[in-house]
A and B are shown apart, each in its own frame.
Chain A
Amino acid sequence: MTTYLDFEEPIKIIAEEIEKVKTTGEKTQVDVSKTVKELEKKLKDTTKDIYENLSAWQRVMVSRHPDRPYTLAYIDYITNGTFIELHGDRSVKDDKAMVGGFGMVEGKSVMFIGQQKGINTKMRQYRNFGMANPEGYRKALRLMKLAEKFNKPVVTLIDTPGAFPGIEAEERGQGEAIAKNLMEMSQLKVPIICIIIGEGASGGALGIGVGDKVYMLENTWYSVISPESCSSILWRSWDHKEKAAEALKLTAKDMLHNKLIDGIIKEPLGGAHARPEEAFQLVKETIQKDLVKLCKTKSDKLVESRIKKFCEMGVIEEL
């Protein structure tokens, strides 16, 4: 069953029509191929038209689409099944909202790290909705340091509604865990590529987001706060989330325009959930291309330009 978002209604209508025509064709033994072909073209044009004109809020909805592929699906495809997941922060526990491990990309070992959301109700609980606790960020750091030790590049896939705001998270120093990652990632002596594949919410996203290259998939968002929370703080209700989404300039296009990311990775027609393998392939190509370049760069140069890039972010006026 395909899930359609409300603004995808025209797509849904055409898709259902195609199914109906096909069924009728089978029943009546009438050749419907011409009609189907016409309808499929119409479906493609309509999808294209809708997806080219998505509002900021609609992109937020796509980024949270229930059929959207999550981190492990990307890693499995990109590493061609060679991924070995590694567990634990060596201190408290294994955080299921943050995954990581080595996998091969074109014959070379790469450390993959990312937040993981669940694919069904049970798994969503198990993955804590992609909201990591401090031990998740510490596991991520442990794996990054492991990669650094053996001179392997790091790829992080970001998809989180935020770091988990719970009592135990506070007790175990959620703030310190994220802060430490920011500082350590600035100095990591191997290449880091960060890709936002879904939601990039605030410090929880940035906690694995300090890289030589930071990309966003076309239909993702990245900001300091979710549009809903922004709306509730500024207008005391969630009703203004569309307005908040616009105001926050959280789309890939806005983020690139503001020089806060390095590039946008295109998604297949209709979003990553419509053709996951195409999305995986596009991400893989980006990683491969960058790794060739970044692995040739000397580590001190890498660190220097990474720090410089983040230090140039911001807009001020000198009076």
Chain B
Amino acid sequence: MGWFKRIKEGIVTPTKEKKETPEGLWYKCPKCKQVVTSIDHANNLWVCDACQYHSRIDSEQYFSFLFDDGKYKELNENISSADPLKFTDTKGYKERIAETQKKSGLTDAVRTATGKINKHTVVMACMDFNFIGGSMGSVVGEKIARAIDHSLRYKIPFIMISKSGGARMMEAAFSLMQMAKTSAKLSLLAQAKIPYISILTDPTTGGITASFAMLGDLNIAEPNALIGFAGPRVVKETIKKDLPEGFQTSEFVLEHGFLDLIVNRKDLKTKLSHLLEIFKK
């Protein structure tokens, strides 16, 4: 507690003291530079207490605080990328996949699971940005499609947490068609009148925005996430002007009418269970 007090009073910890602390014990907010212990940061769901900056987190972390007691059953975890195009850039795609799998402990850029949110059974898919930028190739498309199938079969709501730069270039047109595939599956969910809640987190761009991320019965975003179709760099190069302040943030997208809500991560579980309740009653 003493630690927090000192921060609030603006007393900066001497560098020497920080250096002596073990690696990973402290978290420094990139926006307001506040320093807290990693444990406190995690307890605050990786949101800065001072400025509400939302750190990028992975499926493991979302599942841990959204599912009751952090318990869930993963679906189709053993699907991995093939290399249908034998794509090679600076390294072969197969090799890139193998390396990324080893480094991240993930099989691809999305994990799908079923579990309970305040006792409401849901199917939830969550993207992992640290797996090749959360890009969507055949595996991401197929896992989302199968997760929706699971929703359809058991008539339970589908929640999708997007966090991706877009399509996976190394799978070229295969990747493009995953947009059609996931959207087609969602049309079946809509026909069956099963709720689909889309949660857009930082960043959600490209083919993700132009498919499932924008197709929720409810579209919800975390604060200040980058959300758009074309990336800001591409837009800037096209119009040859500086981009307006706050362009393509969650708040911008909500103002223009494409989001239902912006929800702080700390309120996400409560808000989701309220919404699920509304659909049910």
Contacts and interface: CB of A to CB of B under 8 A. Distances in A.
Contact of B244 (A167, A180, A182, A184): A167
A182 B181 CA distance: 9
Given A222-B173, A233-B169, A178 B235 contact: no
B142 A170 contact: no
A313 B177 contact: yes
A248 B172 contact: yes
Contact of B142 (A184, A230, A314): A314
A310 B229 contact: no
B176 A183 contact: no
Interface stretch (A70-78, A200-208, A290-298): A200-208
A316 B138 contact: yes
Interface in A100-151: none
18 contacts: A163-B229, A175-B209, A175-B214, A176-B209, A178-B211, A179-B179, A179-B211, A183-B190, A210-B180, A224-B176, A234-B90, A247-B172, A250-B173, A311-B145, A313-B177, A316-B80, A316-B81, A318-B78
Contacts of A166: 230, 235, 238-239
B250 interface: no
B213 interface: yes
Given A173-B258, A178-B229, A182-B210, 18 more contacts: A163-B210, A163-B230, A167-B243, A175-B228, A179-B179, A182-B180, A202-B167, A203-B211, A203-B229, A206-B179, A224-B167, A224-B172, A307-B185, A310-B177, A313-B138, A313-B174, A313-B181, A319-B80
A307 B188 contact: yes
Interface residues of A, number: 53
A27 B257 CA distance: 71
A128 to B, nearest CB: 11
Interface in A245-290: 247-250, 255, 258, 260
A40 B78 CA distance: 60
- Dominant secondary structure at the A interface: helix
A318 B212 CA distance: 24
Interface in A17-65: none
A163 B206 CA distance: 11
B181 A310 contact: yes
Contacts of B244: 167
Contact residues on B (Cβ < 8 Å of other chain), bracket = 35 or more
Contact of B167 (A180, A225, A235): A225
Interface in A151-188: 163-167, 169-176, 178-180, 182-184, 186-187
Nearest to B168: A224
B187 A183 contact: yes
Contacts of A319: 78-80, 107
Given A186-B180, A314-B142, A250 B214 contact: no
Interface string B216-230: 000000000000111
A206 B257 CA distance: 23
A316 B139 contact: yes
